[in-house]
Amino acid sequence: MITNFTKEEAIDYCTKHNINLLKSNINFRQEGAIFKLFSVSDDLLMHYVVEGLEVADDYIITPHELLVRESNEVLLDTSEVRMISTHYVDISEE
């Protein structure tokens, strides 16, 4: 289910539901990007953050990075929160 939020509402939603990683279908800065939701364990989250710094990736972001978008509209796919807790999973094709 695609749900429309403002940037602030989307960040609040992610915080309340322990979502700490988002994956967009197109560049996250573009209007109309739809974000899949991920809850990643703290020890694995750093891997995704470091990987994002090493390889320019405009598809996998943390919720607070939504603030750099020009558009205030954020589309979250709230139908599922994908859990990553025991080992690294390549979500680039997700």
Per-residue model confidence as pLDDT tens digits over 30-71: 999 999 999 999 888 887 777 666 556 688 889 999 999 999
**93 found inside a domain:** no
Strand order in the sheet with 2-6: 2-6, 73-84, 34-40, 21-24, 60-61
**8 found inside a domain:** yes
Boundaries of domain holding 47 = 2-84
- Structure tokens that stand for 73 in this block: 């509209």
Number of domains forming the structure of the chain: 1
**92 found inside a domain:** no
**91 found inside a domain:** no
pLDDT at 90: 79
**10 found inside a domain:** yes
pTM summary value? 0.88
Q: How big is the CA angle at 18 (ends 92 and 47), to the nearest 5 degrees? A: 40
Residue with tokens 């749900």: 3
Closest to 59 (Cα-Cα) out of 11, 14, 94: 94
**89 found inside a domain:** no
pLDDT at 49: 74
